[in-house]
């Protein structure tokens, strides 16, 4: 074999290996953008300003508990890509968290490529990922050992648990406009402890994403944002960008991801039993489903 042929063979092997590596590369749910000392209020405002400068629309924000602010953002790529797949609207917004942990302020955000695969979108939102990195920075991806794109597109935590396409359908209205109006009214009333954080309309499609806060006490404590995160977000680098939860209006129907899926895909390494485990929040998914269903005009036992 000539030297040229040997070189070409080696090059082909190297390229093949790099392609295989790219296909098998693992993704993690969150990106740590920055950390350091500072005032959390000032950091929240600086983060919003940086996002706006990078072309993002700040759809809304809230403080689910002390020393934590979560910001919902969208842009043309998110809204446009969301329109290209069934229920892609879940990916019409990304979430940015600013959290003070002792003397350190952490800024993190949902990893667009991870979530694009979770939501089975027609595209991996690489432009959005690049713009978030430019606006806020990137130290590392975190939140799990990591999953491949293939694993994420068919993700479920364990046998018998839900897949992405097994979300809760709560209620069907006479039209898209009627459905959106009902959800807006239910969130404004807040009778189930569920209120609006933001709304994002998917581009050119009858699909609307609502980010919602959940507040509970007494018997309803198990669906409360602060309670849930106190059980599952226990590591040094916080995964507060898991919040808020989502309601999706698709045409005339109202949906939400079942919490067993939504929590598990944000915390795929969470153990089933023991301290800080799924066992500790075993009753929460049903409580969340019930609260969301009643908020949007569905039934208590809607499935």
Is the model's pLDDT at 265 over the cut of 60?
yes
Tokens of 84: 């290209």
Reported as a single tens digit per residue, the pLDDT across 92-142 is: 999 999 999 999 999 999 999 999 999 999 999 999 999 999 999 999 999
Q: Say what percent of the chain tops pLDDT 90.
A: 86
Reported as a single tens digit per residue, the pLDDT across 150-185 is: 999 999 998 888 999 999 999 999 999 999 999 999
Region 178-196: mean pLDDT is 98
Q: Say what percent of the chain tops pLDDT 70.
A: 91
Q: How confident is the model at residue 249 (pLDDT cuts 50, 70, 90)?
A: very high
Closest CA to 288 of 200, 207, 228: 228
Domains located in the chain, CATH noted:
27-154+161-295 (3.30.310.70)
Q: 143: how many CB neighbours lie within 10 A of its CB? A: 25
Region 188-216: mean pLDDT is 97
CB 242 within 8 A of CB 267: yes
Reported as a single tens digit per residue, the pLDDT across 275-299 is: 888 889 999 999 999 999 999 999 9
Task: Provide the pLDDT for residue 193.
Answer: 97
Distance in angstroms (rounded) separating the CA atoms of residues 287 and 224 = 9
Is the model's pLDDT at 7 over the cut of 70?
no
Sheet holding 245-250, edge to edge: 168-172, 253-256, 245-250, 207-214, 194-201
Task: Provide the pLDDT for residue 19.
Answer: 38
First to last CA, the chain: 65
Is the model's pLDDT at 17 over the cut of 80?
no
What integer best gives the mean pLDDT of the chain?
A: 92
Distance in angstroms (rounded) separating the CA atoms of residues 215 and 256 = 17
């Amino acid at each position: 074999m000539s030297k040229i042929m040997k070189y070409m063979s080696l090059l082909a092997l190297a390229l093949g290996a790099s392609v295989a590596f790219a296909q098998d590369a693992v993704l993690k749910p969150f990106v740590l953008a920055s950390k350091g000392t500072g005032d959390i209020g000032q950091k929240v405002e600086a983060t919003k300003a940086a996002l706006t400068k990078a072309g993002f629309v700040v759809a809304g924000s809230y403080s689910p508990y002390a020393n934590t602010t979560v910001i919902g953002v969208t842009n043309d790529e998110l809204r446009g890509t969301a329109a290209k797949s069934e229920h892609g609207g879940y990916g019409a917004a990304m979430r940015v968290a600013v959290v003070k942990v002792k003397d350190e302020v952490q800024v993190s955000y949902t990893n667009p490529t991870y979530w694009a695969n979770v939501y089975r979108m027609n595209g991996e939102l690489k432009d959005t990922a690049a713009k978030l990195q430019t606006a806020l920075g990137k130290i590392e991806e975190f939140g799990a050992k990591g999953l491949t794109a293939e694993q994420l597109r068919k993700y479920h935590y364990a046998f018998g648990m839900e897949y992405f396409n097994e979300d809760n359908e709560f209620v069907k209205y006479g039209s898209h406009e009627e459905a959106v109006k009902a959800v807006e009214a239910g969130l404004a009333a807040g009778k189930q402890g569920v209120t609006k954080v933001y709304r994002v309309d998917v581009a050119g499609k009858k699909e609307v994403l609502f980010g919602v806060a959940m507040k509970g006490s007494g018997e309803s404590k198990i669906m409360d944002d602060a309670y849930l995160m106190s059980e599952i977000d226990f590591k040094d680098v916080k995964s507060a960008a898991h919040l808020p939860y989502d309601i999706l209006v698709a045409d005339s129907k109202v949906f939400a991801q079942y919490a067993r899926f939504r929590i598990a895909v944000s915390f795929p390494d969470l153990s089933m039993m023991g301290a800080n485990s799924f066992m500790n929040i075993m009753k929460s998914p049903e409580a969340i489903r019930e609260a969301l269903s009643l908020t949007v005009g569905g039934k208590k036992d809607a499935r």
